[in-house]
Chains A and B, each alone.
Chain A
Amino acid sequence: MSQIVLSLGFGLVTASILAIGAVGFTIQFGVTNLFNLAYGETMTVAAFAAYLARTALHWDMWLSMAAGGVCGMLLSLAISRCVFLPFLRRGTSQFAMVMVTVAVSFILKNVLQIWSGANFYSYQLPPESSIRFLGMVFDARQLTIIGLAVASLLGLHLLFQYTRLGKAMRATSDDPALARSVGIPTSRIVSAAWLLSGLLAGLAGVALAMDLGTFDSTTGGSFLLLIVAAAVFGSVGEPYGAVLGALVIGVAGELAAIVSPNLKDVVAFVILVLVLLFRPEGLRSGRVQLRAEVTA
């Protein structure tokens, strides 16, 4: 029993990172309808930006994380404006767009590999003492990551429910033509979605690199499969569903490791397949909040 409680705690840390990443992925998909497989590389670039802030500028880790988030925002917007949007304006098919995102992913990955020399990097954070809570074990950094995830998700909830920008995003997502007809600047709203998605990708990338202890040019890309799984699990384009997917995949993986470490990913993806089998659009289908075609 104590092992299960311990694993639940460990799963919460993974789920928190996964949730930040998956919500960013799903928000961007919801507003732009683009399945962006370069998302993992945005995470990696942000992790490197935070590394530079920490080692070259000697910034505090959390300030470095903020720098990673800003870097994610800028990169996300730049890629969307310079690469994706020109293709979308030409009416490129959805499948071709996925291949464009794969191409961008490869380009970023290889540029990073050339730049980083295929070496490993670490924020070199000092060890922190463990904190026991309800039978679970965390350290202060992990608790901060969980707190960051909760704050991010709460902030997004408030954004979508109570702000003009959030409401405009939802309107653009539901029906961009109608949104434009009532004076919503959908082009700017799409840009805001890219910025928001990039911010979350950046924060998730830095949090992942902190949690792993070391990272390289492939770190974000190798985590993308779990992010996509969490997003698909909760219905792509549905932020609350992505949070649910992150929780299920993060916690199920750790619980499965009690039986056998090799079952970690197996259990998570078996659950995903079963959900898709019985609810092809994910757990929260029919309650979609953000989804639209890009016409900006």
Chain B
Amino acid sequence: MKHTRTRWLAACGVAAAASIAVAGCSPGGSGSGSAGTTGSSAGSGGTYAVTAGVLHAFTGQNAFFGLNAQVACKAAAVQINAAGGIMGHPLACSAYDTKGDPADAVPVANRMLVSAPHLVMVVGPDGGDIPSVLPLLEQSKAPEMNTVGDPRYDTQTSQYFWRLTPSDSTQAPALAYAAYHLGYTRIVEVFTSDLSAQTTTAPFQASYTKLGGTILKQLTIAPDQSSYQTEVAAALATHPQAIVGEMDARTSATFLSELRQQHGSLIPFVVTQRALQGDWAAAVVPALGGATVSKYVTTIAPVLQSAGAAFKAFQSAMTAAKANPFQVKNPFVAAGYDGVIAFALAMDAAKSTDGSVFVTYIPKVTAPGSGVTVVNTYAQGVAALKAGKTIQYVGAAGPMVFNRYNTANRPYAEWTYNATAHSWVMGQALPQNAGQ
């Protein structure tokens, strides 16, 4: 009887752990993917639609990545299709849910490759999914664009990998530079233990100490805990001028609430671009209040254009794509939008939708140079190409100049939260290569 009871308890324990693990990985259902005719690339005959596969997490903790990428793709498609499509082919965006899990990403990527009608580009994946998915995309000659920060890709050589935003190895120095130049010379560093945050820690420490700052304590915290009281007490015991680091939405809400409770008020918090992702303010602002976030939180994220033809076209397309206010102000969404348009212009320049052909044209339509015609919209780009001109597409996120490892380095800016407008507002741009 005792053995039966023990086995029963063990079985329940295993079932509990399995249930919670599965729930943690995938709180939502599976996403949608479009079925259709086969083919991973298309020639230039007929009027069939071509597809951009949005291969991202659409459910689970990182679902906002997929939702942002999807709206960026849809907005770009609005603009491309309004200008007649890519060589006459309308562009459609289809979602493929990786659930943010590399194990799920491979079969989903395979499904996309065999079922997406005339797949010409892939938006995503990000983070941990890339190593498992990139070989499949290379094999199918499907170029992908991403906003991954992992410095391991700083010297990658695949011609099908295109990083639209800077590496964490440049974000970290910018974060250090901003924190130091905001006057915070004695700080506590707090990063969550997940990969995307951890890739920033070492370069941040190197840059910040090189600038002359003192890191009083380094805390690596597990995300989504029910309490961070002891960690907060340890941080406050060192009397820092500010907290600098990266935490996801729920962790930030709990950590900062407890920080305010113990300290009596918040202390300045300088955070990476993670705060600009749509879920962050949605979690933290209700917990702390908009005025508190506005007063104490500074985010370091890439620059976003706030005027001009590219900005107007982006805003108009985002409205048509039914984007939310956070997405319209998100430089990573803007980068995704620009990426889709740049890929489309590369196809126009190459006169081919074959990935192996047009990838070499991506830098040709985005690089600056003497005699190039700067274009801010897809329609302008197509017109200039038809006129036989060499173009540089400068979109909503500004110039997108790829280095030889296919990473677009961009300047950073300080962003603060506007409690009245319920949105992030870009402030002062940091110098190019700040902190490096």
CB contact under 8 A between A214 and B9, given known A99-B15, A102-B15? no
| Contact in complex: A221, B2 (CB < 8 Å) | no
Which residues does chain B contribute within 8 Å of A224, judged by CB atoms? 16, 20
Interface residues of B in 274-315 (CB under 8 A from A): 279, 282-284, 286-289
Give 1 or 0 for each of B13-24: 1 = CB within 8 Å of chain A CB.
101110110011
Which residues does chain A contribute within 8 Å of B195, judged by CB atoms? none
Residue A155 CB within 8 A of the other chain: no
Q: How many positions in chain B have a CB within 8 Å of any CB in the partner chain?
A: 54
| Contact in complex: A35, B16 (CB < 8 Å) | yes
Which residues does chain A contribute within 8 Å of B233, judged by CB atoms? 3, 6-7, 10, 137
Stretch of A70-78, A104-112, A158-166, A176-184 on the interface side: A104-112
Q: Which residue on chain A has the smallest CB distance to residue B193? A: A262
Interface residues of A in 231-277 (CB under 8 A from B): 232, 236, 253-255, 257-258, 260-262, 264-265, 276
A38 CB to nearest B CB, Å: 9
Partner of A225, one of B17, B249, B254, B286: B17
Residue A203 CB within 8 A of the other chain: no
Q: Which residue on chain A has the smallest CB distance to residue B14? A: A98
| Contact in complex: A281, B5 (CB < 8 Å) | yes
Which residues does chain A contribute within 8 Å of B222, judged by CB atoms? 261-262, 264-265
CB contact under 8 A between A261 and B219, given known A221-B23, A254-B227? yes
CA distance A13 to B258 in the complex (A): 12
| Contact in complex: B283, A261 (CB < 8 Å) | no
Residue B11 CB within 8 A of the other chain: yes
B262 CB to nearest A CB, Å: 6
| Contact in complex: A3, B282 (CB < 8 Å) | no
| Contact in complex: B28, A118 (CB < 8 Å) | yes
B257 CB to nearest A CB, Å: 4
A209 CB to nearest B CB, Å: 10
Which residues does chain B contribute within 8 Å of A152, judged by CB atoms? none
Interface centre among A124, A221, A222 (most CB of B within 10 A): A222
| Contact in complex: B23, A208 (CB < 8 Å) | no
CB contact under 8 A between A261 and B224, given known A119-B282, A280-B6? no
| Contact in complex: A258, B234 (CB < 8 Å) | yes
Residue B220 CB within 8 A of the other chain: yes
A234 CB to nearest B CB, Å: 12
| Contact in complex: A10, B229 (CB < 8 Å) | yes
Partner of A281, one of B6, B16, B27: B6
A-B Cβ contacts below 8 A, count: 162
Which residues does chain B contribute within 8 Å of A109, judged by CB atoms? 23, 27
Interface residues of B in 219-261 (CB under 8 A from A): 219-222, 224-231, 233-234, 237, 249-250, 253-254, 256-258, 260-261
| Contact in complex: A95, B11 (CB < 8 Å) | yes
CB contact under 8 A between A3 and B234, given known A120-B253, A281-B5? yes
CA distance A95 to B254 in the complex (A): 36
Partner of A213, one of B224, B257, B279: B257
| Contact in complex: A223, B12 (CB < 8 Å) | no
CA distance A168 to B229 in the complex (A): 41
A119 CB to nearest B CB, Å: 6
Stretch of A61-69, A80-88, A127-135, A191-199 on the interface side: A127-135
| Contact in complex: B11, A214 (CB < 8 Å) | no
| Contact in complex: A35, B12 (CB < 8 Å) | yes
Give 1 or 0 for each of B47-89: 1 = CB within 8 Å of chain A CB.
0000000000000000100000000000000000000000000
Give 1 or 0 for each of A114-143: 1 = CB within 8 Å of chain B CB.
000011111010011110000001010000
| Contact in complex: A214, B253 (CB < 8 Å) | yes
Give 1 or 0 for each of B335-371: 1 = CB within 8 Å of chain A CB.
0000000000000000000000000000000000000
Residue B183 CB within 8 A of the other chain: no
CA distance A109 to B28 in the complex (A): 8
Which residues does chain B contribute within 8 Å of A49, judged by CB atoms? none
CA distance A281 to B289 in the complex (A): 46
CB contact under 8 A between A212 and B226, given known A106-B23, A261-B219, A261-B220? yes
| Contact in complex: A225, B227 (CB < 8 Å) | no
Which residues does chain B contribute within 8 Å of A261, judged by CB atoms? 219-222, 228, 230-231
Partner of B287, one of A37, A208, A213, A225: A213
A155 CB to nearest B CB, Å: 24
| Contact in complex: A139, B261 (CB < 8 Å) | yes
Q: Which residue on chain A has the smallest CB distance to residue B281? A: A120
Interface centre among A10, A211, A255 (most CB of B within 10 A): A10
B26 CB to nearest A CB, Å: 9
Which residues does chain B contribute within 8 Å of A225, judged by CB atoms? 16-17, 20
Q: Which residue on chain B has the smallest CB distance to residue A228? A: B16
Residue B45 CB within 8 A of the other chain: no
- Closest A-B pairs by Cβ, 8 of them: A122-B286, A10-B229, A213-B257, A120-B283, A213-B287, A214-B253, A257-B230, A35-B12
Interface set of B (CB-CB < 8 Å, partner A):
2, 5-6, 8-9, 11-13, 15-17, 19-20, 23-24, 27-29, 63, 193, 219-222, 224-231, 233-234, 237, 249-250, 253-254, 256-258, 260-262, 264, 279, 282-284, 286-289
Please list 25 pairs of residues, one from A and one from B, whose beta carbons are closer than 8 Å in the complex, sorted by A's number. A3-B230, A3-B234, A6-B229, A7-B230, A7-B233, A10-B227, A109-B23, A119-B279, A119-B282, A120-B286, A124-B286, A124-B287, A129-B264, A212-B257, A213-B288, A214-B286, A216-B283, A232-B9, A257-B230, A258-B234, A261-B220, A261-B228, A261-B231, A262-B220, A264-B222
Given A139-B261, A214-B257, output 4 extra A-B contacts at Cβ < 8 Å.
A95-B11, A105-B19, A118-B28, A224-B16
